[in-house]
Amino acid sequence: DSGVTQTPKHLITATGQRVTLRCSPRSGDLSVYWYQQSLDQGLQFLIQYYNGEERAKGNILERFSAQQFPDLHSELNLSSLELGDSALYFCASSPSGGSYLYEQYFGPGTRLTVT
């Protein structure tokens, strides 16, 4: 158990819908990272938050957004969903804003299926 929790575990929704994925980092970790894992694209970094502020952006679509709240939990919002958004979405946390010294701890993921 990494100490990172993600809800829900599974999500099935229709195209065009909007969903929210939730992540609680390990106690004391200030950074939250979101990754998407799909068969064709592999593991892709989406976005990072550090202590409530956006720190880095990766291959995140404009239809996707995220935020980190004062209690450090984070939410990833996916809207106007398309079939191609079906994937595993992982949240990871680390103590600092950079991974120079620290590994990242991954949650169990949310499996999103868009039908």
Partner 1 sequence: SQQGEEDPQALSIQEGENATMNCSYKTSINNLQWYRQNSGRGLVHLILIRSNEREKHSGRLRVTLDTSKKSSSLLITASRAADTASYFCATLNYGGSQGNLIFGKGTKLSVKP
Where does this chain bind partner 1 (CB under 8 A)? 2, 4, 31, 33, 35, 42-43, 45, 48, 50, 55-56, 58-59, 88, 90, 92, 94, 96-100, 103-109, 111
Of the two residues 64 and 90, which places its CB atom closer to partner 1 in the complex?
A: 90
Q: Can you name the residues that pair with 7 across neighbouring β-strands?
A: 22
**Shortest distance, CB of residue 41 to partner 1, whole angstroms?**
9
19's tokens: 């969903």
The distance between the two most distant Cα atoms of the chain, rounded to a whole number of Å, is 41
14's tokens: 């229709």
Q: Are 85 and 78 in contact (CB under 8 A)?
A: yes
The 3-state DSSP class for residue 98 equals coil
**Shortest distance, CB of residue 10 to partner 1, whole angstroms?**
11
Of the two residues 16 and 84, which places its CB atom closer to partner 1 in the complex?
A: 84
